[in-house]
Each structure stands twice: as C-alpha cells, then as structure tokens.
Chains A and B, each alone.
Chain A
Amino acid sequence: MKKVRFWVLPNNGFQTATLVGDMLKGFHWEHPGLEVEVEVKTPASLWRHLFRSLKNRDEERRPDLVQIPHTWTAILAHLSFIEDLKGFDSALDLDAWVEPLRTHCQLPGVRGVYALPWWMELSVLFYRHDVLSQVAADPQKELDTWEGFLEVCRKIHKRLKGFPLSHVVANPNPNESVSLIDAAPCVWACGGEFLSRDGSRALFYREEVQRGVDAYLQLMLQGAMPLLSRSGLVPRGFFEGACAMQFGPRFPKMPKKLSRAVRAVPYPRGGRARSSIVGAQHLAVVRDNGQAREAFECLKYLAKPAVALAYGRSAGGIPARLADMQPFFGEHEHVQEAFAASLGFARLLPNFPIMGTLEKIFERMMERVVENILHRKYSAALLREELIHAAAEVDYILALND
C-alpha cells in the first residue's frame, strides 16, 4: 500500500492527529490503496525538520505533504523544496480564494503556484461584552483606537478581582513572547515597515517600528497581558474564559455560555492608520518524493471548500473563500462583521523568501526583550538596540544569499 506522509501543525492540540484522520476518511474512501500517515509537529520542530531534510536529503525522514504558515512558502519554493502545483494541474486557479491570500501561494517573479490556502488567519480584537459592560466601556467607540483600548484595559485591570478572570488581555503567543505577527499591526499603524519595498534591506531600525513594538509591549508592561504564571503552566486564554480580551486570527469553538458573551471588533486604530494582519495556513507538496502525485491528490481533497470549512471549524481557522464565511460564523454575525471589515484594510507580511528567517530572528530578539521586561530591565533604548542588531542580522543574511 502506498503511503503519503502528511506533517501538520498542532491545530487541535492533542486531538490534531485524530481530527485530521477523521477529515481524511472521505479521501480514503476514494483512494482505498493509499494510506495517509499524519504526524503532528510544533512550528519550531516543523521548521527544523524541513530544513534538516532540505540540507541532507539522504538521512532525514521527509514528508510528502505539509502544512506550513504562509510566510514559509516563499523560502521553501525558493530553495526548490516544494513542488509547483501547476505541474500537476495546469488549470489550477487561485481565483477561488480571498484575493490577498493569492500572492503568498506564489514566488515573486515566478509563474508557479507552490501552495494552496487551507484557511485564513486574520487578526481582530475579541472581547467579552459582559465584562466590558460592567466597566461601562463602549466597545464600538472605545476599542476603536489604541489609546481607547488601553484605557479599557486599565478600567478592567482596576476591577480584575471582581471578575472570574486571570488577566485583562490574553497573550495569543503560546510561548508567552511576542511574534512578528503579533506586533505587525501596531508597527504598520505607526507607519513602520519590516523590509524595504524590494526586499533588499531590513527596516527594523526605524523609529516607527520601535514605536509600534513598544505600543504592543505596553500591554505587558502595564500588567494587562500575562507574562508568566507562577505554576509554570501557560496562562489560560480568552477562549477558556480566563481573559476579557484577546487579539486573534482564529475563531475557535468554546463553551456555549462563553460563546454568547464573545464579540469582536477590528484591530484598534493606531498612530497613523488602522491596520490588521492577514495570513493563511498553506498546504504544499514536497519535491523529489515518490508520492508527489498522490500527495497532490490529498492536498486537492483537503483544500476542497467543504473539507477545508469543516476542518477549519474544528481548528478555528477562518475560511479562505468568501462564500464560506456565513456558514462558518453562523449566528456570530457581529464577529463575522469584524472579520469582513478587517479584510478591507488588513495587510500581508511581504512575500520574500527571507520572511521565514526574519520571523525567527524577530522571535529570538523578542524573547530577550520579554525577559528584560520580566526582570524589570526593559527600556526604549534597549528595544532600539535589539531592533538595530536584528536588522543588521537580516541585512547580513540578505547579502549572503544574494
């Protein structure tokens, strides 16, 4: 029996392999001679394993089909690690997907299609309307600007003990740090950019970037966002009912009682503009494998509207096709409105091969910054220095890689 190895991210925690397996039952029905082996890898582990198998094709176990964040598609296509899907289906058309998601399926200047979106990730601000009404905050008005949002945070923080909440704002980052995706809307709202237009230079060192990152870090500095829990456990999040607000790109299932209280608004307006970030989880076929054709069949099945919608629901992933929005959100029209409005001004991270590496460098730098916040050593000067060094490192890598 032929076997397709499918590496996925832990979209559903410990249930991921089971749920993906369930999702593939229809595929097995149509392809009884084909087995799909699902392996769950964390983002860091997936990145590491993909690069290892790229560097040493003899030793490492390689997947045939892989789920990747959209910012990895360009680097993996650039390094010839993933297939041009047009080679399997020349009529493949990206028009079915939400417009902004199409660019990251391709490599700049190349005609091929290297991945298909599985679902969309678009950041909005979720809030508990029951909590906000108790502090007399008007979400439509006060959560419209960053200052207003911080003011609401302060109001809730003052009365935190009166709520069954552990924190005001949940940290969407599972590592209790800050990722590029977390900080990007604030940076863009301040007029900052991460890379020059042609992708040849990092622009971290600019003041606008520093202002944007600092604005986001204020949530930690003012105690609104948790840093570390005493018990060493990751603090419980918004969708577990432990926080009043959270920025998030997904809309997962939650207990009914909580679900009734959850609302969403677009990302608050920053210094210069309103901004949000949109991205996607991609599916790609790994090159130079014996099972490439079979992997592509599996990819096509998973990317089908009904299958993608059903699996997206289980993982909280927003449908990557506009037609599927209504069935996805159902009675949560207010949340759907926030997502639909955000799509109008949301931006993508630039589509350059360096982006995956840049995210890693940013992450590493932010870990150091957050540690300094923890040890009460944070200052704007320290952040500035870190950003300058990070930019220099990105520039150095860009120079080495032509």
Chain B
Amino acid sequence: MIDLLYQFHKELNSPRLGPEGVAELAFNTIARQFKADSLATFLWHGQQKALMMQLGHACGRTMEAEEKIHVGDASPFLSLLRGKKKYLLYSAPHWVLYVPMKWRGASESQEPLGVLRLERFNRKRPFSAKEKKLAFDFASELAQNLYQARLDRLNRNQLGRLSALTELTAVFASSLRVEDSLRLILRGIQKHFSFDRVRLYLVDKEGKTLRGELSVDIRGHVKNLRHDEILLKEGIHHFANLMLGKGGTSELERYKEVVLYLPLIVQAQRIGLLIVDNLLSQEPIDHEDAGLLKSFAGQIALAVDNARLFEEVQELSLYDSLTQLPLRRYFFQRFQEEMYRAERFSQSLSLLLIDLDYFKAVNDTYGHQVGDQVLSAVSQAVINNIRKIDFPSRYGGDEILVLLPQSTDADVRMIGQRLLQEIRKIRVPAPFSKYNEVPVTVSMGVAIFPQDAKTMESLMEKADSALYWVKSHGKNNFALYQDTLPAGPEQRTLFEEKPS
C-alpha cells in the first residue's frame, strides 16, 4: 500500500500541472486502482455551506461538471469535512464512497478542501475496508497536490495583476492629462481583473458633490459620466452614504458578490469612489481580486489626487489669475501649433494685438485696483466676443493677443468691430472721479499669415506695427497691417470711423 501511495505521490508531484491536470492524472490512477465507474471532486464553499463539483470522470474522460451538495448543520458531510468521519458509504442506488480531501498547512493543521466521490455501479462489488483506507490516503495526497496547484495558479494570476496595477499607477507619473490617465487606469483594471464595468466618481473641490468621471464597459469602451452628480447628503443615495461613512444599505449587501465599492481615501479624506462590477455576467468577484484592489485603492486614490493637484498647478501656471486668460508661455505653444497647421493646410492665421488706451493714466489716477478691474473687464469682453476656435492670451501688462485661425480679412474686420463696440460699452466704477466711472477704449493691430508675414516673429512685428499705426492715428480703433502700408491714401483709411 505504501508503494502505491508513493507511486501516486510521484505521479502528481509535477510543478507544471495545473489543478485540472492534477485531477485528470489522479482520476486515471484512482479509476484504475479502484475499478471505479465514476469519480468526482467537490470543493468546499464554506460561505455557501455547499460542496460544489469541480471535475468529474467517467468512461475514461475527465470534464467539468455541475453538481451541488448542500451541507446543513446535521449533514454527515460536515462530519467528514471536520475530520470526525473518515468516509461516508452508501449502498443505494449503487455503491458510493466519499472520502475527505484535506491539505496540511505549515502548522501541520489539516484544512478541508472538499471531498472525493467514488462510484461503483455494480452492486455486487462493495468497497472493502482496505479500499476505504487507501481511498482516504489517495484523497489526502490528491488534496495536497490540488491545493498546491491552485495556490500556484492563484499566485501567478495575482502576480500578473499586481504588476499590471503597479504599471497602471505609474501612468500618473507620466505627463498625460488627468482624464487620459484615468482612462488608462480604469481600462487597465477592467481588462486585467476581467470586470464587466469599472466606474469612477470623484468628490468636487467643495466636497459637496460626488461627480461621475468615467465608466469603462465590458468591451473596454470608455464613457463620460459627467452627467451623474450625487449630492453628498446622508440618505440621498447609497453612494453618498458610503462616502459619508454611513455604511452599506441592504441593497448593497445583496449585490456584494458581483459589485465592489471602493472609497478612495487620502489623508482620511474620501476623495472618490471606484465601483467595479460583474452585474452583466453575474460572475462573483474573487475574494483575492477584491483584496488586491482594496489594498491598491489607497495607491489609486493617491495617484488620482496627485494628478488632480498637478493639473491644478498646471492650470495656475498656464492661466493669468486676474484675467483668466492663458499666459504668454501657453500662448506661444499654441501659436506654434497653429502656425504648423496653417502652413500644412495652407490656411490663414491672423494675430490680433490689443492695447488698452491710456491704461497708465487710469492706474495713476484711480489706482491699481481700478486698473485691474479695467483689465479684467476688457479680458472678459474679449473672451465673450471671439469665436470658439480663437485663442486669447495676456501678453503682458495691458496687452492682449488673440490668435484667429482660418480667418479671412472680412472675418477679422467683423471680429475687430465687434470687440471695439463691446469694449466701448464697458464702464468701470470709479467713485471719486468726475463721472463716477472710467470709460474704456482699446487700440488693435492685426497681421495675417501668410499675406503679411510667414514666421511667428515677423507676424508679431507686423501686428505690433499695425497697432502702433492705430495708436499714432488717434487710438480707439483697429487696423490690418495691409491697411497701414503706404501704398496710397485710399488704402490707408482706418477700418472704422471714430465715434463722434
């Protein structure tokens, strides 16, 4: 008997075999040894109090099979799993022998893995005492190898997911925008963990609303969830309850097998909610996966938070806080891109340079506070009256630049006229002045690529030159560079007559 067991041990003890391979090899040997007509392994699912069939073997074939044995508190199967019995034997409808499958841990304690079932359809061939003892030993050997093979597979899977997660969180260190990073990380989680859907909600800056960000569906398609806003008040929504630490509702409890809610916490602050689910496939989420994701939730939270902070800092350095206009550095990046585009597609690109009239006098007379208000009001008027594709910027001091891609002379004249009219309407309150308000006017010069200049520098020069021309011709107006050329008096007329 010891020889048989040793042989069995040697057969199964191959590191390359997965759990199915181990079971198939063992089934062939056991079926031969015991002349069994049918064999099956059942794994113990403690939470469900059930033994679930994993693989079956009959007619020389091993395959997946579905059967479930409910194990109640008084069930003899419970005695078998707890080690109180060494086997269960039934004689009807044919001979059926169950032996426990237990694995021995490092502490030498034995843990139940499941049971092995042997069937003999011929009622004249019962299982002898010797066979029962041998079946018990074979099942223990099988259990040890099955457990090891499952553990190896689990470790391999977890290692794969761990490295995938590490790579994903590293995404945030790259220079990608927050939304791009979030897309990558959510798609990565969906793919590597095989979830049906991954959703991300983030708490807004004020901490009052949970806003939907992105959702990745079963096909890896990314959807914007911006329309989804949940007020962070207790009782309004179960997401809000979760974020406020008020615990899960009974509804959440029902879905716990297929939905996992992971609050994202940074320095005790809940900054968002990551929700993964298998609702469509109804596949229970692995405990191991849930544990891995939970332990990574902190890192994901930190990465999301860092990325958001980074974007805020980026925004601060790209935009002027007074006028909300992009700053010079950002403008020149964009200017360069638009020049490339204009050259490549043979399109026009106009550059509009705006200068506030008498701005130094306003500052000196009414103070810098009023000066700032004037500058802010003019900037707002510019933002409101240019096209969506145009790009304004605070060039420095009281100068504003506007890029006007794909604009004809006529377009530029129309936009210029619109700006002049709107800016003239601005009235900034100045309580101690003669009229209690400051009138605002600007002068503008325009140069157009490619007719006026073919490089950024020279376009800037030409726009500046046109502006200078307007300044020197009475201000409060605008001119195209072409208008300022000394070709003939009729061509040098200003675009617009000054208001009387």
Contacts and interface: CB of A to CB of B under 8 A. Distances in A.
A231 interface: yes
Interface stretch (A41-49, A131-139, A320-328): A41-49
Contacts of A231: 90, 92-93, 96
Q: Top 6 closest A-B pairs, CB basis?
A: A360-B282, A231-B90, A51-B281, A14-B58, A232-B69, A55-B194
Interface of B: 51, 56-59, 61, 63-70, 72, 77, 90, 92-93, 96, 98, 117, 119, 190-192, 194-197, 217-219, 251, 254-255, 279-283
Contacts of B92: 231
A52 B280 contact: no
B219 A232 contact: no
Interface in A134-169: 166
A58 B92 CA distance: 48
B93 A236 contact: yes
Interface residues of A, number: 50
Nearest to A392: B251
B282 to A, nearest CB: 4
B261 to A, nearest CB: 14
Interface in A47-87: 47-48, 51-52, 54-56, 58, 75, 79-80
Contacts of B282: 357, 360-361, 364
A104 to B, nearest CB: 19
B2 to A, nearest CB: 30
Nearest to B89: A231
Given A14-B61, A175-B67, A393-B254, A232 B117 contact: yes
9 contacts: A10-B63, A14-B59, A16-B63, A40-B64, A51-B196, A51-B283, A52-B194, A174-B66, A401-B217
Nearest to B215: A400
Interface in A231-279: 231-234, 236, 242
Contacts, number: 102
The prevalent SS among residues of A at the interface is helix
Contacts of A80: 219
Given A51-B283, A175-B66, A233-B96, A56 B72 contact: no
A54 B93 contact: no
A16 B59 CA distance: 11
A286 interface: no
Contact of A42 (B61, B66, B70, B196): B66
Given A15-B59, A230-B90, A232-B69, A401 B64 contact: no
Nearest to A353: B280
A228 interface: yes
Given A55-B196, A357-B281, A374-B72, A14 B219 contact: no
B219 A79 contact: yes
B71 to A, nearest CB: 9
B77 A396 contact: no
Given A17-B61, A40-B64, A374 B70 contact: yes
A401 B280 contact: yes
A230 B58 CA distance: 22
Contacts of A96: none
Contact of A232 (B72, B98, B192, B194): B98
A397 B280 contact: yes
A5 interface: no
A40 B63 contact: yes
Contacts of B51: 232
Contacts of B218: 51, 54-55, 79
A401 B59 CA distance: 44
A10 B62 CA distance: 12
Interface string A350-379: 000000010011001000000100110000
Most B-side CB within 10 Å, residue of A47, A176, A233, A374: A233
Contact of A56 (B77, B192, B217): B192
B51 to A, nearest CB: 7
Most B-side CB within 10 Å, residue of A13, A41, A43, A80: A13
A401 B254 CA distance: 19
Interface in A378-402: 389, 392-393, 396-397, 400-401
A80 B219 CA distance: 9
A42 B68 CA distance: 13
A48 B283 contact: yes
Contacts of A396: 279
Contact of B281 (A48, A236, A364, A371): A48
Contacts of A55: 190-191, 194-196, 218, 281
Contacts of B68: 175-176
A41 B64 contact: yes
A44 B66 contact: yes
A13 B62 CA distance: 11
A41 B219 CA distance: 23
B280 A174 contact: no
A16 to B, nearest CB: 8
A242 B94 CA distance: 14
Given A51-B194, A51-B218, A80-B219, 4 more contacts: A42-B66, A75-B280, A231-B92, A374-B72
Contacts of A15: 59
A393 B141 CA distance: 43
